[in-house]
Structure 1
């Protein structure tokens, strides 16, 4: 439907290729006055069809026919390709092709604002629905359709300016709504952008409905009800709670799934208990010496090669089905994750698990110990994904299927390739995170419990790296299938050991905090061998490993002891070389280390499309969602200013909420400043909002993002989020839908009320069935075609706002948005 009518218009020579985020310029040219106005809308060029909102100015009309304003309204993209223009038909409300020549009066009904302030509050309906604004498409008169037609879009349009003037003379303007005469001053408009993706029309048959939040999830949310949102990253707390929910709802009982696998893990656990516990002399019954764990980059080339070879040997060894590595990784899945996460067992459980894995490696090569990855080193780079640790010598591929490095072409048991999406979301552990944790003196102050503030919770903070690496690491059920998991947890164990060395009280005493039955001291770890949660805190276990600290440096001694680390003398820290600096083994001025690389904005997210144990795109339905974004708190200035009596007023830009009284009334007074990732020192004009689903009655996760216009006081975007497709006779599919921006600030979720058709606050837990009415697409193809209704008018498609069930509202509230939702059993 789309591709057949597309041409390939000539572009500026600088436009070698199109980017994920684009601009469409909107402008007006006065016809009965001398004046021109130009602005841009930000568009999502990844999607087959996307929608954006912008405002264009014309001269404000005065009383009577002589006061009419006449202007030409046009749009083109940043490469010079012209967009078609469509106007709303006064009788049908539908859009149809028009000249873009308009007449504007000050008679009612008005479809414009007398200023930006009024135009924004009108189009988002703040006057009628203050708490949850809606995008009032009925206030839009002009729609630009950027579909790159084969012919120049205005060459055959016979409608003229005199036609518009004739209509105005015949009858009152109020009764003559036409495509050539309609009032606006700062006019609201769509920008519809079509890219080169083929779309084919299908018919979907589906129903979506709201559910209460699962009880384990709601209990977790309520822990931060009284905490300030500037003390923790909301999206990280979401991840923490959602994965505790997944473990608690899981029915899979990993430890009894395969007797051969259980016997292998038991043998490794028992062998780990014989490791030498004292460095001074080797016990006669010991089978392995005590391990010294180094930072990954401090391994010699020989040590690193042996370590990688040992891991791959486990992966190839099928004497235990499916292979030894995957058997170990599988014990970090299912109900075991509820034992390993969400309480005081977290530290000890992973210590035992890490020892089992290390013992397996040492059965291959007794000289191998699990190194730790100190990701606080990467956190000091503007773009940590450019660190030399993400090169073939170390961890390899960062984006998509891992095809380079020691773990290239690995396949998971569900037959999905090992996938990463490094740096798109999340962040490495920061030095502030470690400092906060080590500032406490008792276990009861750092383990997950209702009494521990989020910023001191070591389990919560460890999740940032899972989100940062993403892919397999993003889900606890698949995280251990990426070997980086064990190096990350080796670093968390190092922090645990540093805490033990400085804490007050008995370091072997199990934390006494309110918790669930899986995290009491005598509860099983679920790992074969009979270990209990308290055993992870034993001194005998701690004494079987020692950690070599990360090197430091100074101006007097600038060496870091490794070519992949370089000294920053201003801080005395050794930082990773990047892909641009790694060749410089001697840095003349270490204080000028290149840490200002471009961010990962616009990178694609590779999903695995796995539902439980099968991975296939055809298993997923696509739900259209709308994202309404308020201008974020850290975007302080857009360099376009109001003009008064010929003078630029540089105090505030034209869109700044506080400069507009109506906007400030509804928006500005309620804005908070939630905590963000450290890299988010300021917001940019174009931003990202991540939208995702997490299965409730299936194991599956889908993530994508929309592009938001941060310049505007309020903007709207659309996107599509995947859920497991319900099948006839198999019941409904249940999932949790969430959104947060690229700095970790959480968005509220609204669902359409079936009676009033208005959006209201909801839990974001939804059920999908194959019953009518349709509110999703059986594929991306279906979802796009239904949303833009090409079937009824392929030449000028209509934007079907009725197809949205979910709206995300990103308004930077002063409370965690889900802490007061109701729950169900």
Structure 2
């Protein structure tokens, strides 16, 4: 109990009624060792006319709400990640699992997606995802809001990708280009939130290959679009970030709130807070496979920025570790927590995308018409298909066997380590998803009707002009 921050505890007896499990008339006596605060809560009701069962339930709920998971890394896990960093550092030009291209999740065919999901399930079953999830929660407070973040995350993802390829050498880590979904009427309507792909996002994950996964705080949960904070990154945000030249311009710390709009970590946090549930807490975020897809796209955006540094700004990204920190860049030589044979500046090395992996561009309007996308000719952008059957601009709806929002539960949990700062919600929520789709379809139909009328008018004017010219010549 000391690791959770509780004071010395004493032994008391709690009588817990297990209704529903043992029947309404059954009861089981459970002896628990609890913190002093819980003892005080129980004792404070001694002279009040309150049913003992209600008191016990209330005090235990308070105990569970205040529970903090043990984030310390065991010596065994410390050695495990140290050995990984040693292999990564040993010879970056001699990669044991070969160079790989990371593709957008929806560029995978059915077989490739099945192999990816199978490899993820094996990593979950053997405890590897738990190991990485715990490491991320342990390290996060040391790297957030600093230039350490992007470099650490690059190494973290590369190490995790190596785990995937240990299971299946044909698998690589895909990225989720959520700008494609941000272009929708409401990204909650995206086809990705169905059993064939990511699974549901409205509470406990009960659909898809990641259903019934667990974190240290219970079942894996999502709560997309419901927080006051968080939204998906869009193309304009990426253009703003890539418009900068120096790494210090897209990293924390910032000099003003306006500068924060150019910080990549800030917008990355927004996506995780939009996902909500387990993803809104650093102690549980890396237990959701979608976290790795989100982070891979953030890394992709960073790589686009780094390429621009080389081509347009004459800057070597490997040497451009920001010096606008309170330690004036001295943390660049500090060893990474977890990957202790590497320094934080090693995360900025060009070697990773030269010898280990790189990215394949997502679809554009010339080639994006598929089961996942359609081309919005007005915006000249690929947009994700909607899974809605009531309001959908497509004449043929991509049907799934799932109900739009499956019945599931969502249990609020105390957030131990918030993923902040973060953009605010853009107003598109679960509650507004249907109305947003309806408004978008209505507006599209109105625009199409207006365009047809304009084309008819132009056609009529053209015929009138030809007739006038003909009459003039006859005169």
Q: TM-score range by the shorter chain?
A: 0.5 to 0.7
Match of 2:333 in 1: 522
Trace 1:144-223 onto structure 2 (pairs within 5 A).
none
Deviation at 1:359, TM superposition (A): 0.5
> Any conservation in 2 of the 1:273–1:541 contact (CA below 8 Å)?
no
Distance across 2 between alignment mates of 1:397 and 1:517: 44
2:157 is paired with a residue whose SS is helix
| Among candidates 363, 382, 389, match of residue 574 of structure 1 | 382
Match of 1:494 in 2: 300
> Any conservation in 1 of the 2:204–2:409 contact (CA below 8 Å)?
no
1:400 is paired with a residue whose SS is coil
Question: RMSD in angstroms over aligned alpha carbons?
Answer: 3.7
Match of 2:40 in 1: none
| Among candidates 214, 217, 221, match of residue 419 of structure 1 | 221
Deviation at 1:677, TM superposition (A): 4.4
Is residue 447 of structure 1 aligned with residue 263 of structure 2?
no
Distance 1:474 1:546, change over 3 A: same
> Any conservation in 1 of the 2:81–2:338 contact (CA below 8 Å)?
yes
Deviation at 1:309, TM superposition (A): 0.6
Deviation at 1:270, TM superposition (A): 3.6
Distance 1:536 1:427, change over 3 A: same
Deviation at 1:259, TM superposition (A): 2.5
| Among candidates 96, 107, 117, match of residue 308 of structure 1 | 117
Distance across 2 between alignment mates of 1:537 and 1:611: 31
Match of 2:47 in 1: none
Match of 2:186 in 1: 383
Match of 2:162 in 1: 359
Provide runs of 4+ in structure 1 moved above 6 Å.
Answer: 199-204, 250-253, 581-584
Match of 2:442 in 1: none
Flag the structure with higher strand content.
1
Is residue 535 of structure 1 aligned with residue 339 of structure 2?
no
Match of 2:360 in 1: 548
Match of 1:294 in 2: 103
Deviation at 1:607, TM superposition (A): 3.4
Match of 2:464 in 1: none
Distance across 2 between alignment mates of 1:332 and 1:582: 41
> Any conservation in 2 of the 1:525–1:533 contact (CA below 8 Å)?
yes
Normalising by structure 1, what TM-score? 0.39
Match of 1:706 in 2: none
Q: Deviations over 1:394-453 (max 9, x none)?
A: 110111111111111101134x00011112132211222212211111111110113261
Deviation at 1:252, TM superposition (A): 6.7
Distance across 2 between alignment mates of 1:418 and 1:519: 38
Q: Deviations over 1:758-798 (max 9, x none)?
A: xxxxxxxxxxxxxxxxxxxxxxxxxxxxxxxxxxxxxxxxx
Distance 1:253 1:397, change over 3 A: closer
Deviation at 1:363, TM superposition (A): 0.3
Deviation at 1:200, TM superposition (A): 12
Aligned length: 349
Flag the structure with higher helix content.
2
Deviation at 1:501, TM superposition (A): 0.5
Distance 1:411 1:549, change over 3 A: same
> Any conservation in 1 of the 2:251–2:263 contact (CA below 8 Å)?
yes
Match of 2:132 in 1: 328
Distance 1:253 1:312, change over 3 A: closer
Distance across 2 between alignment mates of 1:359 and 1:298: 20
Q: Deviations over 1:132-180 (max 9, x none)?
A: xxxxxxxxxxxxxxxxxxxxxxxxxxxxxxxxxxxxxxxxxxxxxxxxx
Higher relative contact order (CA 8 A, sep 6+): 2
Match of 2:471 in 1: none
Distance 1:375 1:605, change over 3 A: farther
1:305 is paired with a residue whose SS is helix
> Any conservation in 1 of the 2:225–2:428 contact (CA below 8 Å)?
no
Distance across 2 between alignment mates of 1:573 and 1:553: 6
Distance across 2 between alignment mates of 1:582 and 1:362: 41
Match of 1:506 in 2: 316
Distance across 1 between alignment mates of 2:326 and 2:375: 44
Instruction: Could you tell me which runs of 5 or more consecutive residues in structure 2 were left unpaired when the two chains were aligned.
Output: 1-50, 59-67, 399-403, 417-422, 433-475
> Any conservation in 1 of the 2:245–2:308 contact (CA below 8 Å)?
yes
Deviation at 1:459, TM superposition (A): 1.0
> Any conservation in 1 of the 2:69–2:216 contact (CA below 8 Å)?
no
Distance across 1 between alignment mates of 2:89 and 2:390: 41
Distance across 2 between alignment mates of 1:410 and 1:423: 21
Is residue 436 of structure 1 aligned with residue 240 of structure 2?
yes
Trace 1:76-95 onto structure 2 (pairs within 5 A).
none
1:566 is paired with a residue whose SS is strand
Larger gyration radius, structure 1 or structure 2 = 1
> Any conservation in 2 of the 1:298–1:562 contact (CA below 8 Å)?
no
Match of 2:141 in 1: 338
Distance 1:550 1:355, change over 3 A: same
